Amino acid sequence: MDHALAVSVIKAFIAEYAALPPAHGEVEMETTLDDERGHYALLMQGWDGQRRLHGMIIHVDVRGDKVYVQHDGTREAIANRLMEAGIPAKNIVIAFHHPETRKETPFALA
């Protein structure tokens, strides 16, 4: 797997979603781009009237030769974007699926 390519795709994907205007409420997007530890995330926080909004939108870790998609709350799956960029499915772990479920997909088990 091309580590630099994977990180580049992940960062671009996060930046793309961070730039989208919120559907409602006063929401801020926060990115975490930790190259040293291989953690990449986008979360939102804010208010919609009296209701507190806080949650993860994207969380991806890069460990060794694998990309672990920990959470993907987007309409376009980040795994698809990674594969379109040339990252093989065997190097992508859909970590938010139970390991037994992963056996039924073309993606890596772990």
Residues of the chain with pLDDT under 70: none
* Radius of gyration in angstroms for the set of CA atoms belonging to the chain, rounded to a whole number: 15
Q: 6 φ, ψ to 5°?
A: -60, -50
Buried b (16+ CB within 10 A) or exposed e, 78-99: bbebbbeeebeeebbbbbeeee
**Global confidence as pTM:** 0.94
| Residue-level pLDDT at 83 | 97
For the chain, list the domains and their CATH numbers: 3-102 (3.30.310.110)
| Residue-level pLDDT at 25 | 85
DSSP-derived secondary structure for 47-88: EETTEEEEEEEEEEEEETTEEEEEEE-SSS-HHHHHHHTT--
Each residue's pLDDT tens digit, 54-86: 999 999 999 999 999 999 999 999 999 999 999
Please give the Cα distance from 30 to 95 (Å, whole number): 22
| Residue-level pLDDT at 35 | 98
| Residue-level pLDDT at 22 | 83
